[in-house]
Amino acid sequence: MTVPVRIEHLFKTYTRRRLLGKNLEKPVLKDVSLTLEDNHVLGLVGESGCGKSTLCKVLLGIEKPTSGLVEVNGQNVPTLSKSEFKKLRRVLQVVYQDPYSSLDPRMNVRQLLSEPLDIHRLKKDKQERKAFLKELLTAVGLSESQLERYPHEFSGGQRQRICIARALALNPQILVADEPVSALDVSVQAQILNLLKEIKKSRRLSMLFVTHDFAVARFLCDDIAVMYRGRIVERAPAEELFTNPQHPYTEALLSAVPSVHAPRRAVFAGQETPEEHPERESWACPFAARCRYAQPACQTQPFALQEVAPRHACACGVLPFKNHKSKSAV
């Protein structure tokens, strides 16, 4: 069965050419495999710089993969011709982190929302266009009276609503959202999160949702993939991941999430002095330098995702993680 997005063994290395000497190679995505299922929200969680945005760019055809399969609705994105790609963009849309720089300041809301329709020659009838724009604005919580206004007249949250409306204009089936609430004020984040959840349901969207915030992920996502330095270390249905995390990195992340609901306990969970083991950087497991369960086997055990339960995969070489919890680190 074709799924909205299937990524298999994706590698991406950025190369910086140098005039003298060897080119600089920076591997950013390493053997990433993911599936976005129909009408699901797949959360991609990981620290800043781990490769989340790069993955989005490859999926959107903005960056070419070094190797691997990137399928949207069964079509391999990197091999598409220009016209095939244009067709695909009707199905696949994106919302970025920064609502300030993603809107052309010289265009008013009407022009911003009409542009994708004009490109694809849709809703050309005047009355039809008018009704459609109205519906679109209502869907994102704005009103028709704001059509003639320019981006600088809107707040960050409202601009993000415009970005979402623009992404929805072509009635896409898949939405890529790269940290869509991170740049927004705390009091406005909840508004946008509710909106995304609502349109996922009402428009039967499938969504790749990038975030570094677990609370946000729990609210919105059906499945979650945890990324560490360009690799997926664990993926599972969201509730399964929160209640039964398997990878030491996921466990560490979850126990460190501060919360206003259980304040002191949460922040001071990892009470000991921070420890890093730079000498383990060369180990086979990329997380070894920060892992409290590391064992000699982790030096050589090849890195691989393994199923630990149905739909739940984890890349800790010394599985099952639950069993070595009691053992001491090297």
Partner 1 sequence: MNRSDEPILEVRDLHIEFAGEDGPLPVLHGLSYTLPKGRVLAVVGESGSGKTVHALSILRLLPPNARISQGEVRYKGKNLATLGREELRKIRGNKISMIFQDPAASLNPVLTIGQQLTETLLAHRKMSKSAARAKAVKLLEKVGIAGAEKRLNEYPFQFSGGMCQRVMIAMALALEPDVLVADEPTTALDVTVQAQILNLIKQLQKASGMSAVFITHNLAVVAGIADDVLVLYAGMCMEYAPAAELFEHPLHPYTQGLLNSLAPVHEKVDILPVITGHPPLPGKLPPGCPFAPRCPFAKDKCRQVCPPLFEENGRRTRCWLREGK
Ligand X SMILES: Nc1ncnc2c1ncn2[C@@H]1O[C@H](COP(=O)(O)OP(=O)(O)O)[C@@H](O)[C@H]1O
Q: Considering the rule CB under 6 A, would residue 298 count as an interface residue with ligand SF4? A: yes
The one-letter code for the residue type at 279 is E
Count of residues engaged in binding partner 1, rule: CB under 8 A = 54
Q: Which is nearer to ligand SF4, 288 or 313 (CB)?
A: 288
Cβ–Cβ under 8 Å, residues 205 and 168: no
Tell me the CA end-to-end span of the chain in Å, nearest whole number. Answer: 45
155 binds partner 1 (CB under 8 A): yes
Q: By CB under 6 A, what part of segment 25-64 binds ligand X?
A: 26, 28, 46, 48-54
Q: Which is nearer to partner 1, 242 or 303 (CB)?
A: 242
Candidates 20, 124, 127, 278: give the one binding partner 1 (CB under 8 A): 278
What tokens appear for 106 in the block? 């010289």
**CB 190, min distance to ligand SF4, A:** 18
Tokens coding 192:
């946008």
Footprint of Mg ion on 25-64 (CB under 5 A): 53
4 binds ligand X (CB under 6 A): no
Residue from 25, 104, 128, 185 binding partner 1 (CB under 8 A): 185
| Contact partner, 53, from Mg ion, partner 1, ligand SF4, none, Cβ < 5-8 Å per class | Mg ion
Q: Coil, helix or strand for 36?
A: strand
Identify which of residues 206 and 246 has a Cβ nearer to ligand SF4 in the complex.
246
Tell me: does residue 97 bind ligand X (CB under 6 A): no
Q: Give the shortest CB-329-to-ligand SF4 separation in angstroms.
A: 8
Residue 245 site contact among Mg ion, ligand SF4, ligand X, none (CB < 5 to 8 Å, cut-off depends on kind): none
Binding residues (CB under 6 A) for ligand SF4: these are 248, 285, 287-288, 291, 293-295, 298, 301, 316-318
Residues lying near partner 1 in the complex (CB under 8 A) are found at 46-49, 155-158, 185-191, 193-194, 197, 212-216, 218-219, 238-239, 242, 252-254, 256-264, 266-271, 273-279, 290
